[in-house]
Amino acid sequence: MDPRISFQYNWDKAQTLKFALGQYSKHPEPKEASQTLGNPDLYFERAYHYIAGIKSQWSEAVETE
């Protein structure tokens, strides 16, 4: 299981704070984990992501994230 969460906080009408964190994993390919060609003791690769950002509405036509 890879838990992930994200949320936003509307600071005011033009500014939104954004946060996210999560775990991502990938299992080894069959050839990487085979006894003849690879390593049967391989386990899932894991990565943890942490993100923070600001979304700004400058005008009706201009927005940045």
pTM of the model: 0.63
pLDDT in tens, 28-64: 888 787 888 788 888 889 999 999 999 999 998 999 9
How far apart (Å, rounded) are the C-alpha atoms in residues 12 and 63? 14
Query: To 10 degrees, the CA torsion angle through 8, 9, 15, 19?
Result: -40
14 vs 33: which has the higher pLDDT: 14
> What pLDDT was estimated at residue 12?
93
> What pLDDT was estimated at residue 41?
83
